[in-house]
Amino acid sequence: MYILGLNAFHGDSSACILKDGVLIAAAEEERFLRIKHWAGFPEESIKWCLQEAGIELDDINHIAINQNPKANLIKKVLYTLSNRPSFQMLFDRYKNKKKRSNIRTHISKAFLGAKLRGKIHAIEHHTAHLSSAFHVSPFDDAVIVSVDGFGDFASSAWGIGKGTNINLEDKVYFPHSLGIFYQSLTQFLGFHNYGDEYKVMGLAPYGKPVFMDHMREIIKLKPDGKFELNLKYFRHHNEKIEYQWDSGSPRVGILFSNELEKLLGSARLKDNEINQYHKNIAHSVQAMYEESFFHLLNKLYSKHKIERIAIAGGCGFNSVANGKITLKTPFKKVYVQSASGDAGGALGAALTTWYKFGGAKSKIKTEHHDHAYWGPSFTNEYIGKLLDKEKEKIKEENCEISYVKDFFQLSNTIASKIKEGKIVGWFQGRMEWGPRALGNRSIICDPRRTDMKEILNLKIKRREPFRPFAPSIIIEEVSNWFEQTNEVPFMMQVFQILKEKRHLIPAVTHVDGSGRLQTVSNETNPRYYSLIKDFNKLTGIPMLLNTSFNENEPVVCKPDQALETFLRTKMDVLVMGNWIILRNL
């Protein structure tokens, strides 16, 4: 049985394919169209997934999308009747829902002449999130929590997973949302691009929680673990907000009201300098999110006494909060899958459909996802032909090409280059599923250098100086470098680095002594593991600085994109498969 899962007409549009309940391909549309967080119909992702599976459209038995316009319908009607939001707001939502529900037409346009035999299933948004977290987790039973902006009129949902079943317990409905809270305050701080919340996380450690009384005026925590927004500080519930979810980069209009500026002062304009006031706001926003999040989690633990938790939803990317779950709650084991946001909803929709129509008789979950390498890959032959085609352009940039047949020799050579201070583009195997580069589409360099952040930003990344870079560490060394020893394969948790080790790795140590680590094992990524091991032999440091292979664009997908990024930046070395391109000084 083949099931096609989709996230369409929302940020991070994506597609995946299951074969008999097992994931065989998954990718976000942005990687193919080269527009960050691309929203619309994921045509290219679908075509690639079919190609990777070696099947045609008419081989698909089921198509599952992570939205259901009929979900929570009574709640929608009651809210509309009692609150009377603007007509334009209702009309815009209707148009968008209609577009999402017409998936068969979009597929027919994308695959002219092909027959679509598969049945289409609309899966409620948070049901898909919960499935994407639990059904690929290592747990036989767990508490499951989904937290995001909104999906199908709800912002949060939780329940219990046991075996292959998920029991949905409760939700927080529109207009209350931790995701909207964080996004609104992100806009208030002058970060208006879709997905900019990670900038607030990076800025927060530079501030102090001096605005907590104000934050508690904005969010009210309830005795049952839920939360409510003080709606006078927001616009999303009764005014028309400008949204763009179709064929391009997502855009969201201003979500906060004038009352928020009366409470906190003037919002920062995009190009204004960031001062201590803004840093203090950022810190208070993050602290309030954590207070609300842990309030919910502690209530869930007290009810169920299960020590395992799986997290999904856009707020699942709050790696700072995720890293504190075992410190601030009684939960002992945490799993956050690599594409926890809406892209991962495609996987959850497909898995929900599998357990309903294919795996219903099975009591065994699908395989645990301990890696994120589900995207396209390219052979050494393919890469060699590209380099031969572009050899004159490569020579013009004073670069030389070599091929190293023995990977262990290649690994040792590149580890030596990193030790010398070189910045390396590392392109290997299958592309990562989710937003994090995890050693297959990465830029890597020496974490020991105090100036490496500045060098990276000057040569390639051009990021705000307050944003940290992440360490990739071989899994058996975690306890020697971090205060917590959990396995973190997807870079979804931030831990404190041991105080006596921080001075050894300044390039990946944030201002508060933390690091957003990725644990690397020989079983899931032997090439990246080998490189880190070789660097450790040379330096005594069992980790590398790892950042995504891109320059203010989506992470590279194909070798030609990696080569183009290498040539237009000041990267020193590019490794693609067994090929090395070295820039001569």
521, burial (CB in 10 Å: exposed 0-12, middle 13-18, buried 19+): middle
Q: What is the CATH number of the domain that holds 188?
A: 3.30.420.40
Banded model confidence at residue 76, pLDDT cuts 50, 70, 90:
confident
Comparing CA positions, the residue from 128, 275, 113, 254 lying closest to residue 185 is 254
Query: Which residue range(s) make up the domain with 95?
Result: 2-135+342-357
Query: In sequence order, what are the residues at sequence separation of 6 or more whose Cβ sits closer than 8 angstroms to the Cβ of residue 76?
Result: 153, 174
**Domain identity same for 182 and 53:** no
| 56 falls within a domain | yes
Q: Is the pLDDT score of 88 beyond 80?
A: no
| 177 falls within a domain | yes
pLDDT digits (tens, 9 = 90+) for 135-170: 999 999 999 999 999 999 999 999 999 999 999 999
pLDDT score for 90: 54
| 157 falls within a domain | yes
Banded model confidence at residue 115, pLDDT cuts 50, 70, 90:
confident
**Domain identity same for 110 and 200:** no
| 366 falls within a domain | no
**Domain identity same for 171 and 131:** no
512, burial (CB in 10 Å: exposed 0-12, middle 13-18, buried 19+): middle
Give buried/exposed letters for 350-368 (b at 16+ CB in 10 A, else e).
Answer: bbbbbbeebbeeeeebbee
Q: Is the pLDDT score of 585 beyond 90?
A: no
Q: Which residues, in sequence order, are bridge partners of residue 548?
A: 442
Give yes or no for a contact between 474 and 536, defined as CB atoms under 8 angstroms apart: yes
Q: For the chain, what percent of residues have pLDDT higher than 90? A: 86
pLDDT digits (tens, 9 = 90+) for 196-208: 999 999 999 999 9
pLDDT score for 459: 85
Q: Is the pLDDT score of 438 beyond 90?
A: yes
pLDDT score for 102: 82
DSSP conformational letter for 406: -
Comparing CA positions, the residue from 537, 544, 511, 534 lying closest to residue 421 is 544
| 142 falls within a domain | no
Q: Is the pLDDT score of 94 beyond 90?
A: no
How many domains does the chain contain in total? 3
Comparing CA positions, the residue from 377, 407, 427, 374 lying closest to residue 533 is 407
Could you tell me what percentage of the chain is helix, strand and coil, using 3-state DSSP and rounding each to the nearest 5? 40, 20, 40
DSSP string covering 462-495, please?
Answer: ---TT---EEEEEGGGGGGTBS-----TTS---E
Q: How far apart are CA 289 and CA 68, in angstroms?
A: 28
Banded model confidence at residue 442, pLDDT cuts 50, 70, 90:
very high
First-to-last alpha carbon distance for the chain, in angstroms, is: 54
**Domain identity same for 409 and 497:** yes
**Domain identity same for 417 and 560:** yes
**Domain identity same for 125 and 265:** no
Q: How far apart are CA 308 and CA 110, in angstroms?
A: 42
Question: Is 109 strand, coil or helix?
Answer: helix
pLDDT score for 93: 57
Q: How far apart are CA 181 and CA 229, in angstroms?
A: 8
pLDDT score for 242: 87
| 367 falls within a domain | no
Angle between helices 43-53 and 103-110 in degrees, nearest 10: 70
pLDDT score for 367: 84
**Domain identity same for 238 and 156:** yes
What mean pLDDT, rounded, does the chain reach?
95
Tokens matching residue 202: 């990076």
pLDDT digits (tens, 9 = 90+) for 207-236: 999 999 999 999 999 999 999 999 999 999
| 374 falls within a domain | no
pLDDT score for 293: 98
**Domain identity same for 350 and 328:** no
pLDDT score for 378: 98
pLDDT digits (tens, 9 = 90+) for 481-532: 999 999 999 999 999 999 999 999 999 999 999 999 999 999 999 999 999 9
Per-residue pLDDT, averaged over 166-191, amounts to 98
pLDDT digits (tens, 9 = 90+) for 120-140: 999 999 999 999 999 999 999
Banded model confidence at residue 80, pLDDT cuts 50, 70, 90:
confident
pLDDT score for 99: 58
Banded model confidence at residue 320, pLDDT cuts 50, 70, 90:
very high
pLDDT score for 78: 85
Q: For the chain, what percent of residues have pLDDT higher than 70? A: 96
Lowest mean pLDDT among 77-81, 251-255, 573-577: 77-81
**Domain identity same for 234 and 350:** no
**Domain identity same for 89 and 174:** no
Banded model confidence at residue 472, pLDDT cuts 50, 70, 90:
very high
**Domain identity same for 403 and 303:** no
Q: How far apart are CA 490 and CA 435, in angstroms?
A: 9
Distances in Å between the alpha carbon of 505 and those of 139, 426, 500, 537, 549? 33, 20, 11, 16, 21
Q: Is the pLDDT score of 91 beyond 60?
A: no
pLDDT score for 395: 95
Banded model confidence at residue 95, pLDDT cuts 50, 70, 90:
low
Per-residue pLDDT, averaged over 301-312, amounts to 98
**Domain identity same for 264 and 210:** yes
Place of tokens 């747990």: 139
Q: Final residue of a domain: which of 357, 388, 419?
A: 357
How crowded is residue 217: how many other Cβ atoms within 10 Å of its Cβ?
14
Q: How far apart are CA 115 and CA 495, in angstroms?
A: 50
Banded model confidence at residue 461, pLDDT cuts 50, 70, 90:
confident
Give yes or no for a contact between 237 and 544, defined as CB atoms under 8 angstroms apart: no
pLDDT score for 83: 78
Q: Is the pLDDT score of 369 beyond 70?
A: yes
| 55 falls within a domain | yes
Per-residue pLDDT, averaged over 229-257, amounts to 93
Banded model confidence at residue 318, pLDDT cuts 50, 70, 90:
very high
